[in-house]
Structure 1
Amino acid sequence: MSGRGAGRVVAVTGASGGIGRAAARAFGERGDRVALLARGGKGLDAAAEDVESAGGKALPLTVDTADFRQVDEAADRIEKEFGPIDVWVNDAFTSAFAPFTEIAPDEFKRVTDVTYLGYVYGTKAALNRMLPRDRGSIVQVGSALAYRGIPLQSAYCGAKHAIQGFTESLRCELLHDKAGVHVTMVQMPAVNTPQFDWVLSRLPNKAQPVPPIYQPEVAADAIVYAADHPKRREYWVGGSTVGTMLGNKFTPGLLDRYLAKKGYAAQQTSERRSPDRPSNLWEPVDDEDGQDFGAHGRFDRRSRARDIQIWASRHHGLLAATSGALAFGVVRKAMRH
């Protein structure tokens, strides 16, 4: 069966760990056929086992999403082995924790190639196949940092801002063409993923997500919902995402000064970073040491497994109507007096 619901063909980039890993498992639980695109062999094999154990079918594919040829060839193989792609989820990324002045030009370019152009290439490969059929959904895994840059993550924030602009432009084009293909974006909060132990870091202490932190299953749930309801332009996950985006809209200068004062310490623990710690900027870390990092990072005890903001994001129409009715009631009561 193809289309909305269980049994779809789903492609997930960055599926070997973190949010992508949790999303692949969530699609597998619905009985979907899930293609897993990532670089690391150990993580890919483990992710495929997750999907199969959950009840889906898995197709692990070793792909560097910074190379369009590899992405396009992977899409061909997916359709050959699983059938037409119904959902494409772009999640693959890398990053660099360091002041901009300490990031080499080739490192900055590599982050941009993977984290921004990887989304462009994945979207291109999906559209090349979806548009002739006039159906399909593309989900861009975004971030609150697509709207608000923070210190020590200039390359990542720049890429996420670029994805936001690219997706808005594409959405307008699809609407103009009255296409049956839809693109949506899910803006994420800080998530407990392994990235804080494998991305390039030049910080003195170990990197950490800025609290509050959410479990990757919270993010995965939002991605699956967005894949089912792709006509909505974007979804916000986590109250912190809402607060960040609204704060940046109304008081960006104040937020600049706050982050300048607090942003460095908030992104580091009190533990010193090992100078020998590997990074996945150029090569996958799981292939170097044979370790499967999984979906979760080292912040389980500090992470939230639920998020009421997801419900609010899904039911924005109901909330708006309720708020409007309450406001009307207050005004009407006031006019009586």
Structure 2
Amino acid sequence: MQTQTRIVVVTGAGAGVGRAVAEEFARAGYDVAMLSREPGRLARAAAQLSGYGVRVLAIPTDVADAQAVEAAAARVESELGAIGVWVNVAMATVFAPVSALDARDVERATQVTYLGQVYGTMAALRRMRARNCGTIVNVGSALASRAVPLQSAYCGAKFAVRGFTDALRSEILHDGLDIHLSLIDLPAMNTPQFQWAANRTGKRARPIAPVFQPEVAARAIRFAAEHRRRTLWLGWPTARAIVADLLAPGLVDRYLAKAGYRGQLSDEPRADDAPDNLYAPVPGDFGAHGRFDDEARTTGAPLFTERHVQALKGGMALALIGAALMYARLVRRLGS
């Protein structure tokens, strides 16, 4: 086994969480390869990150193109060296009820958000297997366990990411490889996606509160990569959404039928000429943050690793057993 290098690849690194992740690793002394579609924004971000005294390689890449992702991985290893960490962040979505979706919209959102992570993982794994070392971090969402209305394409893709990641983890264990695979589930983040995501609702989209700054996610992702965490739920909102759906999915369905619409749409109409990045990148000097700085939280998001998650599930199981026993006693009393 070789020692893992401090070379990281980040997809979706031109803006949003990916941009914050790239900077987090650069600040920690990693050489960074940044993959994203918009060349100008990517080049500007790379120039900024080079100020940390690390090597930065910007590679314009559409992660929905498997050959392009493979070529990018080959270029990273040729110009920077062996990839130690690969972080799959890139995503695309469309805000719309299913009745307003076009099949092509769903296909494209799935290609970027799900297949983009698959292609990135495969490119990284192909190289890490040869060295028997490395870390892959897939970025999930609270919406990978509890879907919400108006984001069916995105939720479906994130559910698929979770299934793919779990399947691969078992394969890695079967093969006895010293390659680590993490899945990080995020809460609502203040990123530019709410300015440029495809939108068929007629209203401007917004994240469901509470909202966190992308740097909070970036710190969690580096923590998971460096401490070999299997699973990480970021923040109380993520834990609440997942646990609530396990305990009372029908109740959550009804709650989201109302709050899920209201919480994702502002009262402002969406302009007819608003940017849309589903099929092509939106040019401009976007950074990690979106337009919700005034409400986004910079700290205070607990990290629920697999150890905490198991404790939560254990507590839930005990609570359910206790409720079942109380119900059985009540039935017996009523029948006597």
Q: Provide the TM-score with structure 2 as the length reference.
A: 0.89
Aligned to 2:39: 41
Alignment match of 1:246 (pick from 217, 223, 243): 243
Alignment partner of 1:236 is 2:233: yes
Alignment match of 1:81 (pick from 57, 64, 79): 79
Q: 1:248 is aligned with what amino acid? A: D
Aligned to 1:293: 286
Alignment partner of 1:96 is 2:94: yes
Aligned to 1:267: 264
CA drift of 1:50 comes to 2.8
CA drift of 1:42 comes to 2.2
Distance 1:53 1:296 in 2: 20
Q: 1:303 is aligned with what amino acid? A: A
Distance 1:314 1:217 in 2: 22
Q: Is the 8 A contact 2:231 2:306 kept in 1?
A: no
CA deviation vs aligned residue, 1:100-149 (integer Å, no higher than 9, x gap): 11111111100001110010000000011000100000000110001011
Aligned to 1:53: 51
Aligned to 2:297: 304
Secondary structure of 2:146's match?
coil
Distance 1:307 1:88 in 2: 26
State how 1:74-153 maps to structure 2 within 5 Å: 74-153=72-151
Aligned to 2:328: none
CA drift of 1:315 comes to 7.2
CA drift of 1:159 comes to 0.1
CA drift of 1:314 comes to 8.2
CA drift of 1:265 comes to 1.0
> Structure 1 residues 314 and 302, CA, compared in 2 at 3 Å: closer, same or farther?
farther
Q: 2:291 is aligned with what amino acid? A: R
CA drift of 1:8 comes to 0.6
Alignment partner of 1:258 is 2:258: no
Distance 1:178 1:94 in 2: 34
Which stretch shows the higher mean deviation, 54-63 or 92-101?
54-63
Aligned to 1:219: 217
CA deviation vs aligned residue, 1:249-300 (integer Å, no higher than 9, x gap): 11000000000011111101121111110201111001xxxx1110000000
Q: 1:295 is aligned with what amino acid? A: A
Alignment match of 2:305 (pick from 294, 297, 313): 313
Secondary structure of 1:302's match?
coil
Secondary structure of 1:307's match?
coil
Aligned to 2:321: none
Alignment match of 1:65 (pick from 54, 59, 63): 63
Aligned to 2:205: 207
Secondary structure of 1:285's match?
coil
Aligned to 1:180: 178
CA drift of 1:46 comes to 2.1
Distance 2:212 2:301 in 1: 12
Distance 1:3 1:17 in 2: 31
Secondary structure of 2:81's match?
coil
Secondary structure of 1:149's match?
coil
Q: Is the 8 A contact 1:27 1:56 kept in 2?
A: no
Aligned to 2:326: none
Alignment RMSD: 1.8
CA drift of 1:203 comes to 1.6
Q: Is the 8 A contact 1:97 1:199 kept in 2?
A: yes
Q: Is the 8 A contact 1:89 1:138 kept in 2?
A: yes
Unaligned residue ranges in structure 1 (runs of 5+):
324-337
CA drift of 1:57 comes to 1.8
Distance 1:98 1:107 in 2: 10
Distance 2:26 2:3 in 1: 15
Q: 1:80 is aligned with what amino acid? A: S
Unaligned residue ranges in structure 2 (runs of 5+):
316-336
Aligned to 2:332: none
